[in-house]
Structure 1
């Protein structure tokens, strides 16, 4: 997945924050107006949206002479994909997952446990429902990928 520059991220934040999933999207002018504190030229915003479309980050549809833009995926799906991409950077994926799991707060750990239980079909009483767990931690495909079983046990992986 493509990492975003500062301006691209600001434009995506506008889209994620203001475009409901059922919406037809927003125009370049609407995005430019939402970025009013940045004092950007209309053509700059148009170029950024065009590049984001080329990267597959936004979908666009012609409306007369203008385009309407909407995010191709949710913010959560984008972040989940970035996390998965980071795991693929090299080294021990298992060790990285264990270190990450040990670094989250208690509430975040509860969300992860619930999501994994829901994915396994073992939703625990008092935990988030499967749909809530999926939206909290699902990837672009809507599924939480399990660690690859290619290395030693997780505890051994972190000792290296």
Structure 2
């Protein structure tokens, strides 16, 4: 990523959440740092993990002088929270939803219709 390029909001948290979800056990910040695709500083990893813990997205377990972290949610749940927050921020919910549906990729509108039908989430 070029030095002047910025990641989208929540991208670092999503990357770290993917690492935690893929792990079979709670990880230290150093473990997380080693498993990330793109390099991040140790302090950045600690900051993101601390924020995730404060938001209730990661459990934190003390181990000596350090902590281990495990996921309390998954990426789909975080994305759904963000979508709900964006919808709640608008004053005209119908227009926000209409524009959201208009911007869906081909096939997603039909998937959304099926999910909205009774029993559609099974």
How would you bin the TM-score normalised by the shorter chain? 0.7 to 0.9
Show the counterpart of 1:110.
110
Show the counterpart of 1:135.
none
RMSD: 2.8
Show the counterpart of 2:29.
28
Q: How far 1:26 sits from its partner (Å)?
A: 1.4
| 8 A contact 2:57–2:72 mirrored in 1 | yes
Unaligned runs of 5+ in 1: 124-129, 132-160
Q: Does 1:98 align with 2:88?
A: no
Unaligned runs of 5+ in 2: 1-6
| 8 A contact 1:19–1:26 mirrored in 2 | no
Show the counterpart of 1:76.
76
**TM-score, normalization by structure 1:** 0.59
**TM-score, normalization by structure 2:** 0.73
After superposition, what is the alpha-carbon deviation per residue over 1:115-145, rounded to whole angstroms, capped at 9, x for unaligned? Answer: 111xx23x4xxxxxx34xxxxxxxxxxxxxx
Aligned-partner SS, 2:107: helix
Moved over 4 A (4+): 5-8
Q: How many residues align?
A: 116
Distance 2:78 2:100 in 1: 18
Query: Which structure has the larger Rg over C-alpha atoms?
Result: 1
Q: How far 1:17 sits from its partner (Å)?
A: 4.1
